[in-house]
């Protein structure tokens, strides 16, 4: 169910067991991991999460989850999945890049690839993203790709989650000839 995807500089492929150390290191980096889900977890929880990618997500073909590579090296994580949020009935993109991959335009390239997969491959009219209001980098990436904010969701811990959406462009209208 998780196809391989490619962009100009990135390759996305299903995780393999040998990716565990890179996955855990990504999620354990506070600058990255704080933006995933409910934030930082223990190393043991991240290892268990990695295991569930194989035992639940891949085994049950729930949704695509990718290891992201640049020049053959692991640089991040990506998903296109049904939103777990009760207030969002739709499919969202999830992505994160290792710090050493920041500042090269790879985040924009990755989000563009995931958005295109949602619109073009899955046929979705809308692709969603939920982003902590403090995550300026992701908000900037999504704005560049044409995502628009549709609402703010206050969280119990005082933070705010922003709900953004990319709407598939309408096909061009061809004028009738007489």
Question: What is the residue-wise DSSP string for 30-80?
Answer: HHHHTTSTTS---HHHHHHHHHHIIIIIITTT-S-EEEEEETTEEEEEEEE
pLDDT in the model for residue 157: 87
* pLDDT tens figures, 60-113: 999 999 999 999 999 999 999 999 988 899 999 999 999 999 999 999 999 999
pTM (2 d.p.): 0.92
Helix then strand then coil, % of the chain, to nearest 5: 35, 30, 40
pLDDT in the model for residue 96: 96
H or E element that contains 164:
strand 160-167
Q: Considering only CA atoms, which of 93, 129, 99, 92 is closest in space to residue 32? A: 99
Q: What is the rounded CA–CA span in Å between residue 62 and residue 80?
A: 10
């Amino acid at each position: 169910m998780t196809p391989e995807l490619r962009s100009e500089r990135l390759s996305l492929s299903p995780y393999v067991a040998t990716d565990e150390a890179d996955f855990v290191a990504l999620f354990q980096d506070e600058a990255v991991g704080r933006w995933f889900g409910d934030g930082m977890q223990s190393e043991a929880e991240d290892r268990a999460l990695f295991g569930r990618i194989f035992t639940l997500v891949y085994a049950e073909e729930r949704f695509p989850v990718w290891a992201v590579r640049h020049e053959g090296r692991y640089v991040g994580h990506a998903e296109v999945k049904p939103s777990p949020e009760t207030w969002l009935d739709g499919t969202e993109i999830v992505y994160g890049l290792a710090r050493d991959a920041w500042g090269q335009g790879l985040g924009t390239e990755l989000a563009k690839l995931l958005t295109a997969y949602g619109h073009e491959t899955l046929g979705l009219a809308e692709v969603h993203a939920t982003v902590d209001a403090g995550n300026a980098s992701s908000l900037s990436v999504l704005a560049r790709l044409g995502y628009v904010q549709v609402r703010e969701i206050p969280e119990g811990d005082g933070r705010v989650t922003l709900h953004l959406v990319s709407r598939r462009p309408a096909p061009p209208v061809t004028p009738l000839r007489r």
